[in-house]
Amino acid sequence: MKNLHEQLANCQFPAEQAFSIPPECYTSEDLFQEEFEKIFRRNWIGLGRADRFAVEGDYETMDLGGKPIIVLRDHDGVLRIFANTCRHRSARLLNDSGNCKLIRCPFHGWTYKLDGTLSGAPHMNKVSNFTRSDHELVSYHAEERLGFIFVCLDHSVPNLDDYLGDFAKIHAPWPIESLVTTRRRSLKVDCNWKAFLDVFNEYYHLPFVHPDSLDEIYNFPNPANEVKGAFATQFGNIEGSGGLLQDSKEQPLPRMKNIEDRVVSGVQYTWVFPNMSFASGMDLLWIYEAYPISVNSCQVFQSICVPPETAGLQDFDKKISSYYQRFDNGIEEDIPALVNQQRGLASSDACQGRFQPLLEANVASFAKWYADQLLSQS
Ligand code: FES
Ligand SMILES: [Fe+2]
């Protein structure tokens, strides 16, 4: 068998010639750690929608690329990313999510403002050479684009607009920035994080995994868009909303007010590398973020977003329930397929396959980007 370097090089071709990501990348502990280093700590990472940090002091804690971090909205409305570790003797500062006026360390009470500056340190005022400004929280870069959060854990950060290339231009037909989140749910899936994003982005499995549900909605997609930037995207024509199953299409939500006509009859599936993917429909957006937990499990967040005027409709709860049902059904059908794939990937006989270029276009684009990351820094 080819060595890993040669196998990854086989991913760096257009979909017609490329091979899939080596199975070892879905099962190896060493590569799992290498991904933290080369994928999650060096690139911009999408953390889903920014509107869940609506007011100052709203925060969430998470582990990203093996680093515990705090995502927080400060007093000036700026989104901040801090290392979740105290500048005194490194205790973890916050847990879970919530709202805070200050960040107070539970160990010895050092207190930080929402901009990360140290505002209080009990009994430290007479300590020689102790200067509060030397002990601000370690911070990283966070920015917002189209209502999405992007963070970078590399201090020599690449420019986000260069990273995203023509992402905003390609998504201009949908009023994505102004959408509001009406549901965010979390689930743990027993597969590698890449496998979860792969399956959301391909049409090939639909007749086999979703024969009586999603397969009835979708036709063959258009060829993938040519893009500049760390993402892949593909439009698929469908009748009516892609967020509803065939038998519940008579109760759709209204189409977005400012959506361009040319994209009304279909859904645009976008994968922002490495870990965030979303589908833009004529009435709503559905988003998945996948974060590695272990080599064979990941934490997935599903978010559903609609225009504010749609969320304000009197019969919104009734109408959106059919959509939520469709998304939940889709996931429930995908999960056994993913668990089954993960078992197959773990076989010592697993080897690289080939892509169906139209139906797995985004998956092939990600495989190329992934191989570029691992190889360019080795
Ligand atoms: S470790 Fe935080 S105050 Fe001591
Ligand atoms: Fe699926």
Please give the Cα distance from 302 to 277 (Å, whole number).
10
CA separation for the pair 178, 184 (Å, rounded):
17
Q: Which of 122, 157, 192 is the last residue of a domain?
A: 157
- Is 72 among the domain residues? yes
Round to whole Å and give the CA distance between 81 and 139.
6
> Is ligand 1 within 6 A of the CB of residue 89?
yes
- Last-in-domain residue among 128, 157, 186: 157
Confidence of residue 246 (pLDDT cuts 50, 70, 90): confident
DSSP structure string for 145-207 = ETTEEEEE--SSPPPHHHHHTTHHHHTTTS-GGG-EEEEEEEEEESS-HHHHHHHHT-STTHH
Closest protein CA for atom 1 of ligand 1: 89
Asked if residue 104 and residue 36 are part of one domain, the reply reads: no
Please identify every residue whose CB atom is under 5 Å from ligand 2, which is an ion.
334
- Do residues 15 and 360 lie in contact, with contact meaning Cβ atoms separated by under 8 Å? yes
pLDDT the model gives residue 169: 97
> Residue 323's Cα: distance from chain center in Å?
20
Residue ID of nearest Cα to ligand 1 atom 4: 108
Q: What is the rounded end-to-end Cα distance, in angstroms, of the chain? A: 20
Residue 289's H or E segment, with its range, is strand 285-294
- Domain boundaries, position 68: 46-157
What does pTM read for this prediction?
0.96
* Structure confidence at residue 377 (pLDDT): 63
**Among protein residues, the one whose CA lies closest to atom 3 of ligand 1:** 108
Whether the predicted pLDDT of 185 surpasses 90: yes
CA distance 263 to 281: 8
Q: What integer best gives the mean pLDDT of the chain? A: 95
In tens, the pLDDT along 274-301 reads: 999 999 999 999 999 999 999 999 999 9
Gap from CA of 329 to ligand 2 centroid (Å):
9
- Give the count of domains, the chain: 2
pLDDT of residue 261: 87
> How far, in Å, is the centroid of ligand 1 from the Cα of 95?
15
Which token pair is 367? 């495989």
Kindly state whether residues 144 and 225 are assigned to the same domain: no
Query: Do residues 36 and 50 both lie within one domain?
Result: no
pLDDT tier for residue 24 given thresholds of 50, 70 and 90: very high
pLDDT of residue 309: 97
Does the pLDDT value for residue 139 go beyond 80? yes
Q: Does 170 reside within a domain?
A: no
For 34-45, write each residue's pLDDT tens digit. Answer: 999 999 999 999
Atom of ligand 1 nearest to the CA of 86: 2
At residue 240 the predicted structure's pLDDT band, cuts being 50, 70 and 90, is: confident
Query: Looking at the structure, do residues 223 and 252 belong to the same domain, yes or no?
Result: yes
Residue 249 has pLDDT above 80, yes or no: no
Q: Is the pLDDT of residue 378 over 60?
A: no
